[in-house]
Amino acid sequence: MCGIVGYIGDKNCVPILINGLKRLEYRGYDSAGLGVIINHECRVVKNKGQVALLEKKLEEVSLSGNLGIGHTRWATHGVPNEINAHPHFNSSKNLLVIHNGIIENYQTLKAGLQKFGYKFISDTDSEVIPHLIDSFLIKGHSLFKSVQLALSEVEGTYGLIVIYDEEPDRMIAARKGSPLVLGIGDKENFVASDVSAILAHTKQIVYLEDGEVVEVFKDHFIAKTVLDKEIEKEVHEITMTLDEIDKGGFAHFMLKEIMEQPESICNSMRGRLLLDKGTSKLGGLESVADRLASSSRIIISACGTSWHAGLVGEYMLEQFTRIPTEVEYASEFRYRNPVVNKDDAIFFISQSGETADTLAALREAKDKGALVLGICNAVGSSIARESIAGVYTHAGPEIGVASTKAFTSQLVVLALITLLIARKKNMSLVDGKSIAEELKTIPDKISKILKLNDTIEEIAAEFKDVKNFLYLGRGYNFPVALEGALKLKEISYIHAEGYPAAEMKHGPIALIDENMPAVFIAPKDSTYEKIISNIEEIKARKGRIIAIASENDDKIDNLVDYSIKIPDTIRMLMPILTVIPLQLLAYHIAVKKGLNVDQPRNLAKSVTVE
């Protein structure tokens, strides 16, 4: 979480850092700060709240320089305030550090440093880092060596940048468990936690790996490990454009990303769907496809929205491949000493590819000898690099904290994987072609649903002031109920729960009254009549009902208060369609409540700390 960016070159770093922080604000927006070295002196400006407030504060301060660092915070240790904001000083105020991650042994380190007279002013774990580095500097070590020695004593995770007024021609960056990239420019270099922060200035990127430390000058860099082993780093050319990470005329990134789903899903399928053969071609899985198809068990591990995608994937894989499939919360997976066998295949799903829990679970499974596979959106991310094989979703940058297009692209990729395995096993050509042909129609069907935006906005106006929501679905659409409830919780702060509709009578129905609306996901499939019975039960208790229904369903209109009609598709692909109205409903309710949908309170886009 948190966003960090650094610059060294011949330009004034302040506007570069501010613009970088604006690009990174989806990673944290509790507080923000800049640190610049001017004439061998460290200058810091920081502020509680969003980057815009920091930018306004800078209008009243004369601050410029050729070396600087910036940070936007998602609070872990210490409340959001100016003191806890980064950068943090050493006692002499000649060294600055910005940090993303958690120092797990900070209390032990802090106690030891205090015995040597170091004074702490913040409540953060991060403040131990500048003092620890200082404890080696005063012994005569260089900045680079002092950082190496300090990090050898640190337990936990970090992505950090250090600058020092006695060595103003360089910045030091290091990574362990928290993403960090180096951007190579023309007589200028950059460091950031995300490519988006530096995309306006360079497309030449170096990905740092865990345990690496780089000494960055304006015209070159030196990379070593914490243990001082020299390493060679490869420079990558990225293809992302600035247009992809701008709002494009939409009021919010979330709305833009919802509306991009016909395109993002096309991108997820492009070149992968073999209609004539009724299968898919996934280059990232070619080397392991036979091993995958012969797996005795498939496990899907993920967090949040990606976990919901995994639940849909479980339905797909078990129905069509007949391989037992389990879905695990990555945050719990490695802590319960899971039973993992060498003939297991484990998919790790993460939009960012940097989710700390998911990455840790991947490493655990890899150590146990399983086939570890990544499903990621971010090219070059840690999960993508550390997986044995995998598939990119190619959804494009997703800036809104509440995931939308990443979710539907994950569902498409899971469908392509299911098709690939099933055709290798026992699925007929006819059945394979039928699924492939239906997949091809999905973008156009989503476009049709998106035209209902105004209708959904009107429904949202009726429900913006309610305190609770219930989301209900069966079969493939049960995970969609979970995802719809999560979207509402994330951005509108309305309490919402998702349940299998059949479980309603086992407790949740006690909540139903005229103030408790229920959203039913009720397409005409094999569970339809059962869903209708559940709707009748809610109606009998004066509950208000919104139904996501098939476009040819006239019966349901007489039973519900509001119906949102969507095109039909086969059961395994229906979640890709049914989730779209729920995304729009959550979005419009939040907007009508006057909330910031792109930066909901307490949340950050990429969860890079456990």
For residues 246 and 391, the answer to whether their CB atoms sit within 8 Å is: no
59-87: per-residue pLDDT in tens? 888 889 999 999 998 777 888 899 999 99
Q: Could you give the CA distance from residue 193 to residue 188 in angstroms, rounded to a whole number? A: 17
Q: Could you give the CA distance from residue 577 to residue 14 in angstroms, rounded to a whole number? A: 45
Q: Which helix (H) or strand (E) holds 421?
A: helix 405-425
205-223: per-residue pLDDT in tens? 999 999 999 999 999 999 9
Q: Which of 21-25, 301-305, 334-338, 536-540 has the lowest mean pLDDT?
A: 334-338
pLDDT above 70 covers what percent of the chain?
A: 99
Cα separation values, 483 from 265, 294, 404, 496, 497, Å: 18, 31, 10, 10, 9
Q: Is 234 exposed, middle or buried (0-12, 13-18, 19+ CB in 10 A)?
A: exposed
279 pLDDT band (50/70/90 cuts)? very high
Catalytic residue among 2, 42, 303, 376: 2
> Which pLDDT belongs to residue 25?
82
> Which pLDDT belongs to residue 513?
81
Please say whether the dihedral angle defined by the alpha carbons of residues 84, 90, 93 and 96, taken in this order, is positive or negative: negative
What's the average model confidence in pLDDT over 475-491?
97
From the list 56, 50, 59, 52, the residue with the least C-alpha distance to 27 is: 50
**How much is the pTM?**
0.82
605 is a catalytic site residue: yes
Cα separation values, 233 from 121, 179, 182, 196, 265, Å: 38, 16, 10, 20, 33
Mean pLDDT, rounded, of the chain: 93
338 pLDDT band (50/70/90 cuts)? confident
For residues 299 and 325, the answer to whether their CB atoms sit within 8 Å is: yes
Catalytic residue among 176, 445, 487, 605: 605
548-607: per-residue pLDDT in tens? 999 989 899 999 999 999 999 999 999 999 999 999 999 999 999 999 998 888 776 666
What's the average model confidence in pLDDT over 143-151?
97
262-273: per-residue pLDDT in tens? 999 999 999 999
Q: Could you give the CA distance from residue 42 to residue 28 in angstroms, rounded to a whole number? A: 24
For residues 285 and 390, the answer to whether their CB atoms sit within 8 Å is: yes
Q: In what side-by-side order are the strands of the sheet with 562-566?
A: 495-500, 468-473, 518-522, 545-550, 562-566
2 is a catalytic site residue: yes
Instruction: Identify the three-state secondary structure at position 91.
Output: coil
289-311: per-residue pLDDT in tens? 999 999 999 999 999 999 999 99
Domains of the chain: 3-244 (3.60.20.10), 249-450 (3.40.50.10490), 452-596 (3.40.50.10490)
> Which pLDDT belongs to residue 264?
95
Q: Is 571 exposed, middle or buried (0-12, 13-18, 19+ CB in 10 A)?
A: middle
Q: Which of 19-28, 413-422, 550-559 has the lowest mean pLDDT?
A: 19-28
Considering only residues 573 and 609, tell me which one the structure prediction assigns the higher pLDDT.
573
- Write out the two tokens for 85: 């904001």
> Which pLDDT belongs to residue 356?
84
What's the average model confidence in pLDDT over 321-343?
91
238 pLDDT band (50/70/90 cuts)? confident
Whether 245 shows a pLDDT value over 80: the answer reads no
> Which pLDDT belongs to residue 1?
64
Whether 609 shows a pLDDT value over 70: the answer reads no
Cα separation values, 380 from 30, 44, 139, 206, 282, Å: 28, 33, 38, 10, 17
> Which pLDDT belongs to residue 610?
55
> Which pLDDT belongs to residue 150?
96
> Which pLDDT belongs to residue 249?
85
